[in-house]
Amino acid sequence: MTAYLRTGEEIYEESFRIIRAETNLARFPADVSRAVVRMVHAAGATDIADDVAFTPGVVAAANAALRAGAPIFCDSSMVATGIIRSRLPRDNDVVCHIKDPALAEVAAAKGITKTMAAVDLWLPRLEGAVVAVGNAPTALFRLLEIVGETGVKPAAVIGIPVGFVGAAESKEALVANPFGLDYLVVRGRRGGSAMTVAAVNAIASTDELTNTSRQD
């Protein structure tokens, strides 16, 4: 039988060693690099790093927001469920409204997606929050509309929706945003909840191999 690694720590260490050996991380600041390594790990594809676009201060901005107790707004239940609560420094709220039974009626009345209707509910606490979009491009588009309409700005946007309709375009809109938003995206059609969750968990962690939170 083939020999194989048996402990989680050994597997993580070897995985991250391989990722760093096979991935071009030179253009990333150290804190962004750690998040990208986790995103590559979640995707199982080292070329993901080539499509990452970011603002240099995105990880620092997200960390500061989390340490200040800011909520994390998620577009999907998969993103919200995947965020490891033990890594969050202030027992931060992880908010996802997508299962709200009233959303379907609101969305139908407005002629929008349920996700867009859910994003509208973020507004009262959106200022200084961390946003994690890992599924719906319409969530990212609506977020940018709200920021433009109200001037309310989240501290950082992890914007990695996936799909063939609107995903690439919504991420390009975030990259080109005129509001000064800090962001981390994977350009193109690729994305998804796994990479989004990996980025958030990496940003919130002090140790790559553990669930240690950022307690200062």
Q: Which residues are the active-site residues?
A: 41
| 209 C-beta neighbours (distance < 10 Å), count | 13
- The Cα 214–Cα 206 span in angstroms is 5
> Could you tell me which residues come within 8 angstroms of residue 193 by beta carbon, excluding any fewer than 6 positions away?
76, 78, 79, 82, 134, 135
Query: How does DSSP classify residue 83?
Result: S
Q: Taking Cα atoms as reference points, which of 100, 44, 96, 47 lies closest to residue 75?
A: 96
One-letter amino acid identity for 2?
T
- The Cα 51–Cα 168 span in angstroms is 11
Which residues on neighbouring strands pair with residue 117, listed in sequence order? none
